[in-house]
Amino acid sequence: MDINDKISFDIVSIYDGNGVRSLDLKVTEKNGNVTFVDSYGGLHHRDLQRGESPFSYNVDNQESYINKKGEKAVRMFKRIEYWPEQFEGQLEGNERTLNIIARHAHTLVKKHPSVIIRDANKGNSNPNQHGLVLFELRETTQIIKDKVQKNIEVSKAQAIATELMQEDPESFIDLCYRYSIQPVKEVPIEKLYNEVMLKIANNPTHFMEILNHKDAVLLTLVKRAMIGTELDPAIISFEDPFYFMNGENLGQKEEEIIYNLSKSARNREFLMMSLGVPIEDEVEVVVLPSTSDAIEASKPSQDYQRRTDKSRIEEARKAMNSITVQWEKEKKKNPAGGSVLDDKFKAQLSKKRELYLDVADFWDAELAYKLPYITKD
């Protein structure tokens, strides 16, 4: 027998204080059926007869905890351990009897009317609970197993993040954007790394989902576009309850934004140009099982790494916006201006374009997007 084979569970008082309570191993189900365990480990599916009594545990160990009010408090609990049934043949005498009682107790408390069992949503999963609640079942063996599994997942995820940061810092920065680390821009990569490690420790599964996202590149661009300041507004803005880009509704959730952008080449091109990402360099990231393969697959192409100077694109966007805003104001003041005003401002835009020939592709795409809205009657 290996100590790791042993199973343990706690009976925990739901009330603060150090008063000792007892739990009888007798269960009366809602349909009237009775089951009890006697002092010799016998399991009976009938009511007690004269002179019989169920085995009883005293809940007599004290532990400190933080109660619902956020205060330090004490409560009573009883830890019960036993070997699985296949090992009972190796036990003798009283040790074997107590093991059988504990094994039956574990089954009975799961449907004991005075015991609640917390599910994943903090609800009660004991279908037979009725009347006064005195105790809660705490599955300590399962808790330990869950922690071990989580630690394994955390270790794997942190190894991937570490290798990505060391081998491909630029891809790591992109990962930080879609992992909702804020801020990212101009923050030392060591600080970003520490924040990623902390988030992974809390939820390694979410990290792997983000790493393996089927639209990783597009999600990264969306996350970058959502960041803005008072002087430099976000390309994708939130106006409760919708997200907008250049006046167009992209949806209420990230999934909707990704879907709508994936279906519109024009919007996707506008997004990429606004961020200084050449249109022809859009790539799909597919993360493979191993750490090295995951990093290699998540690397952008060499062309993708040749980024247009973002500051120039921002200058061009602001210059165009200044002209188009004035254009719209003039049209409201003089609705009859019509094509004369349109020609006037088109000429201004054409002249201004000469100052931004290095980002002419962006200028032309932005103008092609805006023009139909501005020139409409």
Q: Is residue 254 part of a domain?
A: yes
Residues 336 and 252 in one domain: no
Q: Who wins on pLDDT, 339 or 261?
A: 261
pLDDT surpassing 80 at residue 24: yes
Mean pLDDT to the nearest integer, 214-232: 85
User: Given pLDDT bands bounded at 50, 70 and 90, which one contains residue 340?
Assistant: low
Q: What is the pLDDT of residues 128-142, one digit of tens each?
A: 998 889 999 998 887
Task: Specify whether the CB–CB gap between 259 and 219 falls below 8 A.
Answer: no
CATH number at residue 270: 3.30.250.10
Same domain, 56 and 116: yes
Residue 20 in any domain: the answer is yes
**Predicted model pTM:** 0.51
Mean pLDDT of the chain: 83
pLDDT above 50 for 281 = no
Asked if residues 351 and 373 have their Cβ atoms less than 8 Å apart, the reply is: no
> What is the mean predicted confidence (pLDDT) over 237-249?
88
Task: Give yes or no for a contact between 116 and 129, defined as CB atoms under 8 angstroms apart.
Answer: yes
Residues 10 and 76 in one domain: yes
pLDDT tens figures, 76-128: 999 999 999 999 999 999 999 999 999 999 999 999 999 999 877 778 889 99
Residue 251 forms part of a structural domain: yes
* Mean pLDDT in residue range 150-173: 92
The string of pLDDT tens digits covering residues 288-337 is 334 344 434 434 333 333 334 566 777 777 778 777 777 777 777 777 66
Does residue 339 carry a pLDDT above 80?
no
Looking at the fold, whether 117 and 29 belong to one and the same domain comes out as yes
Sign of CA dihedral 264, 268, 274, 279: negative
Give residue 289's pLDDT.
39
Domain annotation covers residue 153 = no
* The predicted structure's pLDDT at residue 374: 58
Report whether 87 contacts 24 (CB < 8 A). no
Enumerate the β-bridge partners of residue 137.
11
Q: Within this chain, do residues 81 and 129 fall inside the same structural domain, yes or no?
A: yes
Same-domain check for residues 279 and 347: no
| SS3 annotation, the chain | CCHHHCEEEEEEECCCCCCCEEEECEEECCCCCEEEECCCCCEECCCCCCCCCCCEEEECEEEEEECCCCCEEEEEEEEEEECCHHHHHHCCHHHHHHHHHHHHHHHHHCCCCCEECECCCCCECCCCCCCCCCEEEECHHHHHHHHHHHHHHHHHHHHHHHHHHHHCHHHHHHHHHHCCCCCCCCCCHHHHHHHHHHHHHHCHHHHHHHHCCCCHHHHHHHHHHCCCCCCCCCCEEEECCEEEECCEEEECCHHHHHHHHHHCHHHHHHHHHHCCCCHHHCCCCCCCCCHHHHHHHHCCCHHHHCCCCHHHHHHHHHHHHHHHHHHHHHHHHCHHHHHHHHHHHHHHHHHHHHHHHHHHHHHHHHHHHHHHHHHCC
Q: 64: Cβ–Cβ under 8 A, 6 or more apart, which residues?
A: 72, 73, 74
The answer to whether residues 272 and 344 belong to one domain is: no
Which pLDDT belongs to residue 364? 81
Q: Which domain holds residue 25?
A: 3-138
How open is the CA angle 14-19-25, to the nearest 5 degrees?
65
pLDDT at 286: 37
Residue 169 belongs to some domain of the structure: no
Smallest Cα–Cα separation from 216: which of 284, 134, 146, 115?
Answer: 284
Query: Which of 269, 284, 299 lies at the terminal end of a domain, its last residue?
Result: 284
pLDDT at 350: 80
- Asked whether residue 257 is assigned to any structural domain, the reply reads yes
Give the chain's domain count. Answer: 3
Q: Based on the domain organization, do 18 and 129 belong to the same domain?
A: yes
Does residue 258 lie in a domain region?
yes
Where on the phi/psi map is residue 67: left (φ > 0), alpha (ψ -120 to 50), or beta?
beta
Q: Are residues 35 and 122 in the same domain?
A: yes
Task: Specify if 192 maps to a domain.
Answer: no
User: Does 10 lie in the same domain as 73?
Assistant: yes
Same domain, 127 and 235: no
High-pLDDT (> 70) share of the chain, %: 87
- 127 with 238, same domain? no
Residue that finishes a domain, picked among 104, 138, 172? 138
**Predicted local confidence at residue 233, as pLDDT:** 83
Average pLDDT over residues 4-32: 90
From 89, 122, 138, the end of a domain falls on 138
